[in-house]
Copies of this chain bind each other. A is one copy, B any other.
Amino acid sequence: MSNIIQDIKLRDWEEEYININPLQTGGRTYPETRKAIISYIDGYSTCDWCKGALGITDKPPIREFLDEVSKFLGMDYTMLTNGCREAKFAVLHALTNPGDSVVIDGNKHYTTYVAAERARVRIYEVPSNGYPEYRIKPEDYVTVIENVKKETRLLPKLVFLTHVDGNYGNLVDAEKVAEICKEYNVPFLLNTAYSSGRMPVNGKKIGADFIACSGHKSWAAGGGNIGLLSVSEQWKDKAIEYSKKYKVKPIEIIGCSSRGSSTLALMASFPHVKERVKYWDKEVENSRWLMKELEAIGINQLGVKPTEHDLNFVESEKLFKISETHKKKHFYLYYELKDRGIVGIKAGLTKNFKFSTYGKTKEQIKHISWAFKDIVEKFAK
Contacts and interface: CB of A to CB of B under 8 A. Distances in A.
Interface stretch (A108-116, A199-207, A303-311, A322-330): A108-116
A60 B113 CA distance: 27
Interface stretch (A3-11, A132-140, A283-291): A3-11
Interface string A254-269: 1101111110100110
A223 interface: yes
A68 B42 CA distance: 24
Contact of A7 (B47, B61, B86, B117): B61
A68 B1 contact: yes
Interface stretch (A28-36, A146-154, A168-176, A372-380): A28-36
A44 interface: yes
Contact of A271 (B4, B14, B82): B4
A24 interface: yes
A43 B23 contact: yes
A81 to B, nearest CB: 9
A26 B93 CA distance: 32
Given A7-B60, A43-B215, A117 B251 contact: yes
Given A10-B39, A45-B223, A224-B262, A254 B85 contact: yes
A225 B5 CA distance: 20
Given A1-B68, A7-B61, A60-B8, A223 B44 contact: yes
Contacts of A222: 41-43, 260-261
Interface string A79-94: 0001101100100010
Contacts of A217: 43-44
A14 B260 CA distance: 14
Contacts of A98: 97-98
Interface in A38-70: 38-50, 59-61, 64-65, 67-68
A37 interface: yes
Interface of A: 1, 3-5, 7-14, 21, 23-24, 26-29, 32, 34-50, 59-61, 64-65, 67-68, 82-83, 85-86, 89, 93, 97-98, 110-111, 113-115, 117-118, 215-217, 221-225, 243-246, 249, 251-252, 254-255, 257-262, 264, 267-268, 270-271, 343, 346-347
4 tightest Cβ-Cβ pairs between the two chains A and B: A27-B43, A223-B260, A43-B216, A224-B224
